[in-house]
Structure 1
C-alpha cells in the first residue's frame, strides 16, 4: 500500500507546509490492466538526497521516468521543477560530437563552449573537452554525463543506476564525485539503485519500493562522510536487507559465518 512519506512539516510541530521540490499525489501508472505504480504519494524537499531501492521490476525506473517527464501516461498529480536533469546508467553520448558539444547538447541558443568546459572541469574532465566520446573510459563517459546535468543548473537531479556498469574502484570514485557535486550545488537528488551500501553512503533518506508503491522509509541518521565500518551503518544496512527480503542467516552461513 502506498503512503504519504514526507509531509514537509516545520520544526517543533509547526504545521505550516515547507516547500517541496517534488510533490506526488495519487500517482498511478498502468501498463494495460496491470498497475506498476498504484496511488503513490511522495515529497522531496529542496536539497534532499533520496535513494530508491527495490527488486528489479518493482517500478523504480518507471517512477523516475515519470518525474523526468519521459512518461506522461499517468493518473494523479506530479509536480516537479522545470529545471531538472537526468543521468542514466548508459552515458548516452553522441559519438560524432566532441565531448564538450555533448555536454551542452539540447540547451537553447548557440553551443556555449565556456559553459561546457566549466562543467567538465568540475567533474575532472577539463582536459578532455575536445576528444570524441569513443576514447573515453567508462568512468570518464559517466563523468561527462554528469557534466551534462550540471550545465542545466537543476533544482532536481534524477539518477537512474548511473554507476551500475562501472568497476568497483571507478564506482567508488563516481559516488564521491556525486556527493561532492550535491553538496556544492545544493540540488535535490533522487537516486535509483540496487546497491544498499551505495544508498546508505549517499542518501539522507532511503525508500524501499515493492510492487506498486513505497513499502518502507529509512532516515539515514549518520554523519558525513559515511563510514561503512561504523556499527550504526551495519544496523541500517541489515534493516534495509531485511525489508528487501534477504535472509541474513543464510547469507552469514554462505559467507562462512555461524
Structure 2
C-alpha cells in the first residue's frame, strides 16, 4: 500500500491471526507534519500494553488508527475484528437510559439482560435504568467500560480513560480495569501520560517518540504492585528518562 493513500485498517478474525494487532511501516501525516513515521508494533493476545509519550507525539492517533477511526494512512495495519474503544470522555447518549447506551450499536434488538450483566460487572447494577446525566464522572466511565466489554473484544483500546477523574475515583477505576483485564483476558492498549499508572497496570510499556517506538520495556512485578518497591522505582526513573525527565 503506497504511503498516504486512503485506506482502512484490515480486519482479521481471531482464528486467522495470532495477534490482536500487528503494524508494519505505519505512516500518518497531518498536512506537512508527519506524526507516525514507519512505526512497527505487535500486540500479543492477552497482553496489557501502555503507551507513553509527550503531547502531540501521536499516541491517540495510533489508537484511532487501530480502532479504524482514521483511514488516511500508509503502511500495513492488521487488527482483530472484535475490538472496542473507551475514550477520555464516556460519550454516553443523554437521551438513552444507561443500559441502552451499553448495547448501543450491537447487532439485533437491544439485549437488556446482556447490558445488565456488563453493568453489574463494573459495579453499576443499580444504575441500569437511570439517565446518563445523573451518573458521577466515575460511574459514567464505568458505563463506558461496560459498553466496551459487552462487545467481548480481543483488543480493548483505552484513550486516557482516567485523566478527567478525581484522584480517589481514578484509583478505583484503575483497579477495576486491572481486574476486568485479568478476568476477560483480552489484549489492552492504554494511552496515558502517567508513568506510574502505566507501571501499575501494564505488563509492557512503550514510549512513542519521533514517530516510532523509541523504548519497549517489560514490567514483570507481581500483582498487586507496590509503587515503593525498588524495582518499581528504578523502572519509573528509566521511563521518565526516556520521556526527557531526569
What is the TM-score with the length of structure 1 in the denominator?
Answer: 0.88
String of CA shifts for 1:162-220, please: whole Å, max 9, x gaps: 00000111000001000000000000000000000000000010000113111111111
State the distance in 2 between where 1:146 and 1:196 align: 22
The answer (yes or no) to whether the contact 1:88–1:162 under 8 Å persists in 2 is: yes
Q: Which runs of 5+ in 1 are unaligned?
A: 1-17, 248-258
1:136-215 equivalences under 5 Å are 136-215=135-214
1:1-258 equivalences under 5 Å are 19-247=18-246
Larger radius of gyration: 1
| RMSD over aligned Cα atoms | 0.9
State the distance in 2 between where 1:65 and 1:21 align: 15
The answer (yes or no) to whether the contact 2:19–2:80 under 8 Å persists in 1 is: no
Corresponding residue for 1:3? Answer: none
* 4+ residue segments displaced more than 6 Å: none
The answer (yes or no) to whether the contact 1:21–1:46 under 8 Å persists in 2 is: yes
State the distance in 2 between where 1:234 and 1:151 align: 36
The answer (yes or no) to whether the contact 1:59–1:211 under 8 Å persists in 2 is: no
What is the TM-score with the length of structure 2 in the denominator?
Answer: 0.92
Q: Which runs of 5+ in 2 are unaligned?
A: 1-16
Shift of 1:33: 2.4
**SS, match of residue 134 in structure 1:** helix
